[in-house]
A = this chain, B = another copy of it.
């Protein structure tokens, strides 16, 4: 791509040479020829890049072509998705793939050793990479990418433009048992399903369990990191971000536009209201309603309270010392009082 094309595409203002060839993106401090970088703040910079995306208020001289845009990091992400399209394997539909006759597979790529079950439909533009298992009666929308060695159980629905990273397991049985008279556990039926809406990304080796009787749902545009656990009947809204190793227990609801840090644990039947932000390693008790705002700690508290409590904790040593001194002063006063 030429710098002019990029500037037009991003509706940016080009300063410099509009005929520079750009082939990939790079970080500003390590970029070299043919590469485009970005700058978050309107400060002077030195870079080997052939072009740099800068904020609108940038008014420095630059040693290379610059393109002024409102949000350089966002536009950098956009141009990167064009310069670095997802790589296709060397084949379209590998001869080793085992695809049920009743399946309707229009995917662009079906890798080696993939298996696809009865009555499953995979829409056009999808990439199903090597060794992934797609069960029976699964529906997958357009242009979704299932990376290698994933397992999608029967009856799951996945929308369009989703990315499921390697080793993720979607639709395994939820974890629900009923004890009998002797304390032996019998599985509560786990015959519901999982519905993943459009533009969702799910990280490597994460697990999304099927609903017990109803559905587990992940809303449009939600992004889930690696090694995350989503239990049965959880409902996650749109544009939610969940960082690595967090676990959401059964029937909990996370509304739209929440941000959940890493290693957070949520009990069952909790509700996180739209816009809430929960810090890493926090714990949400079962049934808890988490209001909008920033939350921290176990059990979660508003960040301000958490900080105040932590400051008080730090002050305990001093308070203890003070109580000791007061005790002595008090004893002295009492003694004097008695002497009178």
Contact = CB atoms under 8 A, between A and B. Distances in A.
A292 B165 CA distance: 36
Oligomeric state, in copies: 3
B178 A77 contact: yes
Interface stretch (A1-9, A15-23, A54-62, A185-193): A185-193
A180 B221 CA distance: 12
Contacts of A249: 243-244, 262
Interface string A322-338: 11001101100110110
A143 interface: no
Nearest to A229: B244
A284 B337 CA distance: 52
Contact of A172 (B113, B204, B267): B204
A205 B151 CA distance: 11
Contacts of A147: 151, 153, 172
Nearest to A189: B80
B323 A27 contact: no
A226 B209 contact: yes
A309 interface: yes
Contacts of A30: 213-214
8 contacts: A90-B100, A90-B118, A165-B173, A177-B223, A229-B262, A247-B263, A309-B314, A316-B316
